[in-house]
Structure 1
């Protein structure tokens, strides 16, 4: 949802908006009830009331759809529970579907998913939502976390190894997930191949931030999920089959180990993403012939990137603009406050591909003299809080202005 789709519930003034705008592409499908002109004196207004079910509380609402054909292509969805839309994190989602069997008079159900919740992460994984996702229609029967061919191949390999008594050998072959450096490199090469590029030089990319977001949040994550599926599926099969008991007994007895396996999977996903993001930024800096030192230890702190080098940073005779610190975090939450301690008499930049940063957090960063560096599409997005914030710049601006040719001490051409 855009910020306008939810901040109205926080008491902020946004005209007469008291609901969500539905894009034309969704309005023109048969998901919603058909619109019709009810008031002949206003032929430009098409609308329809309909009953909606909100499963979070079991509430049934009389909602309304209205399209002002003389104002734009979007449709206004009103009569929604205001309390569900209050204090939402940016880039939160409205999820809805149709019911096979009506609930009262309702044939449609809806719920709001806060983007900072665990449910949002599950939703993104199940529906395989890309970094540039805005809206879409999905048929549940077509939803899959991996391709049918890949699943069938894994099923066949595991079945054959069980029959042949070589499951241990198969498990050994997938016992280690690829290191983040390997996955990062594979993702970068796949992106280069897709776009016919030879380098990730940020001065040769139109939108270097969007490129990094695509590589880290889409391409690399898909590569990781493929490897993770093979690794975790083999481990689960081992737990269930190693005692040579019936399925129910194996699951019950093996539950603690199964639980630990899935917990490990969740934790590994989160820790992997941060390190890979740093490696992608490092590739931009290297391919752009920009002088930098990575993870340089200074005063008990370890900034992700020091430009141009640690020696310059520590030089007490240098000017403020002779060095800068660039930190990298895929998601911020409260962790950006760690960055505020890294003050070295130079500019402090924080790169992220997180679209969920609140306006209050951005304001606090500005107070701490932290400049947020975000992908170009997120800076102008209606779903984020970045658009009009002075201390939020794009990767394009960062490389062109803050590191560019007018700052020759950063470049090693």
Structure 2
């Protein structure tokens, strides 16, 4: 469920805070909310690094008879429901006093006293935000918001805080959530000059979003240079899935945002300053145009994500000399890749259909129709897929292909580790292609 305020309210709270803690919620943080058997549990876990920092209140040993237990009670404000809760942070420095075998520190602190309903029915990889306010608000120094991973707000948070694909938790200074001064100041200076010279129209025409092919090439080149590889041969890369996830979700998106900022800010400046009235009048009268600018921006981002994934997986196929065809139409269908090619479907036991989805949701179900044509593999970088969906894929003979780090992640972080029909990119290339279907790989 994770009902939460819209980004405008979250942003206001962020700006009123002196520090922000963000955690990608694991199963241990949320499963209790959906299981009536765990009625005694009520909260999430704070990682050791954060608990031992100065973000949360200091814990003390308040019970002389149990000196190994440290805790603190403090008020928390939950904006989604407007509740003020008395929360507790508790740390058991030893599991079982007196038992030498089990007398070892616990490295997570439990935070209880939370609204149960806000942790119910959450998708995997949802986010927890805790703000430490500059001034007390609603009787509390801390606010807490739970954001479902499939919401628009989650996407905005990942962008604003620059949460990369392998993010788990961290604390942030809101004052530093500004683009580097050099890039920002340069754009401001260019726009100011264009407005002064009355050349804003020309400035806008000069700003273009790089083509998907160009973006992909730039991002791949940066990753290869940073990691000192000559190419993206999946048989040589130790973790090809992690490489694709890093390139598509982090590096390429960063390059894209720089280009997007230039063109969108120029478009908005034109709307505000080149109308018939003052900026406020132009804003109100031109709001539908402003809305269209940002709608176009959102739609372009979403379409870019899918194309990005396709370009990078295609690069793995090419550099690995793997026989394939991309986006071939047959029988009203157009899978992303067919190995070795569409003519082999239904006639070659080695034929593979590879479909790509950056985010799955329910769209994967159409793949079940292609089951008689060849083995089906669904590749994704989505870490929010439930166990129920994976079970249904297995019933439809669909193998899920995920980055190595997502498959290796503990069960509490993703659902993948427990399922045999979920394999890594490395396993796909080394076992499903090279070992089981060697004819798919062209000789050197």
TM-score range, shorter chain: over 0.9
Query: Of residues 75, 79, 85 in structure 2, which corresponds to 1:61?
Result: 85
Cα distance per residue 1:133-175 (max 9 Å; x no partner): 111111111112x32211111111111111122222211111x
Q: CA deviation at 1:406?
A: 4.2
CA offsets 1:104-128 (integer angstroms, 9 cap, x no match): 5421110110101111111111111
Residue 135 of structure 1 corresponds to 169
C-alpha separation between the residues in 1 aligned to 2:164 and 2:114? Answer: 27
1:40 to 64, 80, 87: 64
1:387 match: secondary structure = helix
2:12 aligned residue:
none
Counterpart secondary structure, 2:371: coil
2:364 to 333, 336, 350: 336
Question: Who is 1:172 aligned against?
Answer: 205
Inter-CA distance 16–193: structure 2 relative to 1 (3 Å threshold): farther
Q: Judging changes above 3 Å, is the alpha-carbon distance between structure 1 residues 353 and 79 closer, same or farther for their aligned structure 2 residues?
A: same
Partner of 2:300: 268
Give the superposition deviation at 1:33.
0.6
C-alpha distance in structure 2 between counterparts of 1:337 and 1:273, whole Å: 20
Gaps of 5+ in 1: none
Counterpart-to-counterpart distance in 2, 1:18 and 1:412: 56
Specify whether residues 197 and 16 from structure 1 end up closer, same or farther in structure 2 by C-alpha distance, changes over 3 A only.
Answer: farther
CA distance in 2 between counterparts of 1:60 and 1:9 reads 19
Cα deviation code 1:183-209 (max 9, x no counterpart): 111110110111111101111111111
1:309-340 per-position Cα deviation (integer Å, ceiling 9, x unaligned): 2222252xx33xx1111100111111111222
Could you state the TM-score of these two structures normalised by the residue count of structure 1? 0.95
Conservation of the 8 A alpha-carbon contact between 2:335 and 2:354: yes
Which residues of structure 2 form unaligned runs of 5+? 1-24, 95-104
Map 1:84-123 → 2, pairs under 5 A: 84-123=118-157
Alignment of 1:228-247 (within 5 A): 228-243=260-275, 245-247=277-279
Q: In 2, Cα distance between the equivalents of 1:55 and 1:104? A: 10
The 5 Å alignment of 1:10-409 reads 10-11=34-35, 17-70=41-94, 71-144=105-178, 146-174=179-207, 176-243=208-275, 245-315=277-347, 318-319=348-349, 322-381=350-409, 382-409=412-439
Contact 2:346 2:373 in 1 (8 A): no
Report if aligned partners of 1:358, 1:385 keep a CA contact under 8 Å in 2: yes
Question: Could you give the per-residue CA deviations for residues 53-112 of structure 1, whole angstroms, max 9, x where no partner exists?
Answer: 111111111111111122421111111111111110000011111223324542111011
- How far apart are residue 229 of structure 1 and its match? 0.4
- Alpha-carbon distance in 2 for matches of 1:339, 1:152: 48
Alpha carbons of structure 1 residues 353 and 13: separation in structure 2 relative to 1, 3 Å: farther
Describe the shift of the 1:365–1:405 C-alpha distance in structure 2 as closer, same or farther (beyond 3 A): closer
Higher deviation after alignment, 305-314 or 9-18: 9-18
Question: Structure 1 residues 396, 270: closer, same or farther in 2, change over 3 A?
Answer: same
Q: Secondary structure at the match of 2:172?
A: coil
Residues 11-48 of structure 1, C-alpha deviations (whole Å, 9 max, x = no match):
16679643111001110111111011122232221111
CA distance in 2, matches of 1:14, 1:407: 47
Report the counterpart of residue 440 of structure 2 in structure 1. 410
Equivalent pair of 1:4/1:14 in contact (CA under 8 Å)? no
The whole-number CA distance in structure 1 between the counterparts of 2:281 and 2:255 is 34
Structure 1 vs Structure 2 CA RMSD: 1.6
Contact 2:346 2:374 in 1 (8 A): no
Deviation at 1:359, TM superposition (A): 1.6
- Cα distance in structure 2, aligned partners of 1:395 and 1:361: 19
Q: Secondary structure at the match of 2:26?
A: coil
Residues 344/294 of structure 1: CA separation in 2 closer, same or farther (3 Å cut): farther
Aligned residue pairs total: 407
Q: Secondary structure at the match of 2:264?
A: helix
Going from structure 1 to structure 2, the CA distance change for 1:211 and 1:168 (only over 3 Å counts) comes to same
Contact between 1:306 and 1:326, CA under 8 Å: does it hold in 2?
A: yes
CA distance in 2, matches of 1:12, 1:311: 53
